[in-house]
Amino acid sequence: MSRQEKFDLAIVGAGIVGLAHALAVVRRGLSVVVIDRDAQANGASVRNFGFITVSGQERGQVWRRAMRSRDIWLEVAGPAGIDIVQRGAVVVARRPEARAVVESFLQTEMGEGCKLLEANALNRDYPGLAGQDFAGGLWSPHEVRVESRQAIPLLAAFLAERHGVEFRRETAVRSVEPPDIETSRGTVHAGKVIVCPGHDLATLYPDRIARYAVTRCKLQMMRLADPGFRLPVSVMSDLGLARYAGYAALPEAVALRRRLEAEQRDALDNGVHLIVVQSADGTLVVGDSHHYAATPDPFASERVDEIILDEFSAVFGGPVPRVLERWTGIYASASDRTMFADAPHEDVRLVMITSGTGASTSFAIAEEVVEELFGASTAETMKIA
């Protein structure tokens, strides 16, 4: 592909946040260049579950963003060659207090389309679960899951091949002064710039980022061998009901958290909640934990993995499948917000998701940022095809 001299928009960062903004802009018929320091996606965008989570997201705007982003994932998946490997989610309620949270959730607008599952239904429909001992569960139809290690490169290729997005990889951005973006490989010219730095808090606009009290969160995850059963849905447990804001903000969650503090203090102290998803080859991706620091250490704790696998065993019963892979991930985190879009210049937006919800909310956030930066679209929206 020949290299253009000038673009309507330059995006710094080729993770899911940057790619989402590229999609929103090409749908307006505008030209885009994406600049990234790495040769391929290597950060939080590929070190996750690929779980586009709707139910459990913070009530209100975040939940609506997740619903919209889920819809865009479904629109783009086919044309981009991205497989939807699971649909829906089950949140197992191991305790009566967890069931009370589920029942309360179902009374909110977020519970529309969801339903309460009894233990016998869990046993019947999800044979991998140790459902006979559960108090019930929540079934949600809203979630979808992609294999993030495959989906992110496929989305980038789709944007390049079908919509002419130019990618300049292994290129560090040193300064942004529209229309000039100074990089390690020369100057790029663009009328507007969106900076999507992931968890890089120091390279571009560190003073602006510091205003939002952003730190970093380290998580631990594992891939387990094929357990011999198939999960049609992603699975969570009581720990998720106490952590995800859409559940945890409900009054009934107070009693659940009190019981968890008495029975699973180690899990809470290490930010552990259970998510289990299954890949097309039958292996399970299991996690995760949350530890916060300005610069998290790179070392995975065996004790933390044991806590995660203890919860897995309680939900699925039987022996834990063999661990095939272990890894850590890092994402930007702020205690008082899920994201921010800052304007260091009239033609620049600094966009950072600070809640680990990039896969679940980026597409909707990108639409909002692009509309605010470019105004109402004057070009016919392009079809994803």
Phi, psi of 120 (to 5 degrees): -65, -35
Q: What is the mean pLDDT of residues 215-241?
A: 96
pLDDT tens-digit readout, 131-176: 778 999 999 999 999 999 999 999 999 999 999 999 999 999 999 9
pLDDT tens-digit readout, 246-292: 999 999 999 999 999 999 999 999 999 999 999 999 999 999 999 99
Nearest by Cα to 94 from 313, 314, 289, 288: 314
The string of DSSP codes covering 203-229 is SS-HHHHHTTT-EEEEEEEEEE---SS
Nearest by Cα to 356 from 261, 289, 277, 284: 289
In angstroms, rounded to a whole number, what is the distance separating the alpha carbons of residues 62 and 70? 12
98 close to 135: Cβ distance less than 8 angstroms: yes
pLDDT surpasses 60 at 378: no
Please name each of the domains of the chain with its CATH number: 1-85+146-204+338-385 (3.50.50.60), 87-144+215-333 (3.30.9.10)
Q: What's the 3-state SS for 240-289?
A: HHHHCHHHHCCCCHHHHHHHHHHHCHHHHHCCCCCEEEECCCCCEEEECC
Q: What is the mean pLDDT of the chain?
A: 94
296 close to 217: Cβ distance less than 8 angstroms: yes
- The whole-number pLDDT of residue 91 equals 97
pLDDT tens-digit readout, 108-130: 999 999 999 999 999 889 878 98
Instruction: Give me the residues paired with residue 251 across strands.
Output: none
pLDDT tens-digit readout, 324-372: 999 999 999 999 999 999 999 999 999 999 999 999 999 999 999 999 9
Phi, psi of 307 (to 5 degrees): -65, -45
